[in-house]
């Protein structure tokens, strides 16, 4: 299974935060999970680290993600942007668009790992938390 990660899923997993949903925690601990990190999520992580709103530096976060062979970074490109839905704010829309494009191109089941209610309510892709 392929999972697209939202920003808070990464932060809460790395921080071992209790706000991480139990299903999301199991997926993130499963060595067989394929994890997609959208470019917008990396940008949000960098921004939050610079504002000291997370307990890690961006360098530490990036090192942890790059050391995990399950993680694949996905760029923000015109093909992804074509899948943006106007019903979501731009950050959420880009996360979902990454999953929609990935599903279309690779013909794989894709699920979003997020606690975000608006992403869940959009029903554009399955959500696990």
**Domains of the chain, start order:** 2-128 (3.40.50.1010)
What tens digit of pLDDT does each residue of 39-59 get? 999 999 999 999 999 999 999
105-110 contacts, C-beta under 8 A, 24 or more apart: 105/79, 106/2, 108/2, 109/1, 109/2, 110/2, 110/3, 110/4, 110/36
Mean of per-residue pLDDT scores for the chain: 97
The predicted structure's pLDDT at residue 59: 97
Q: What pLDDT band is residue 12 in, cutting at 50, 70 and 90?
A: very high
d(C-alpha 80, C-alpha 82), whole Å:
5
- Mean pLDDT on 107-121: 97
């Amino acid at each position: 299974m392929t999972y697209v990660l939202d920003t808070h899923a990464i932060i809460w997993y790395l921080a071992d935060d209790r706000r991480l949903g139990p299903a999301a925690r199991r997926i993130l601990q499963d060595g067989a999970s394929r994890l997609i990190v959208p470019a917008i999520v990396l940008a949000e992580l960098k921004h939050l680290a610079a504002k000291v709103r997370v307990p890690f530096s961006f360098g530490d976060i990036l090192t942890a993600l790059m050391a995990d062979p399950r993680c694949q970074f996905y760029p923000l490109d015109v093909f992804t942007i074509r899948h943006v839905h106007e019903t979501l704010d731009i950050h959420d829309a880009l996360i979902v668009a990454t999953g929609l494009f990935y599903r279309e191109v690779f013909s794989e089941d894709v699920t979003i790992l997020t606690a975000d209610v608006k992403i869940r309510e959009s029903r554009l892709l399955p959500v696990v938390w």
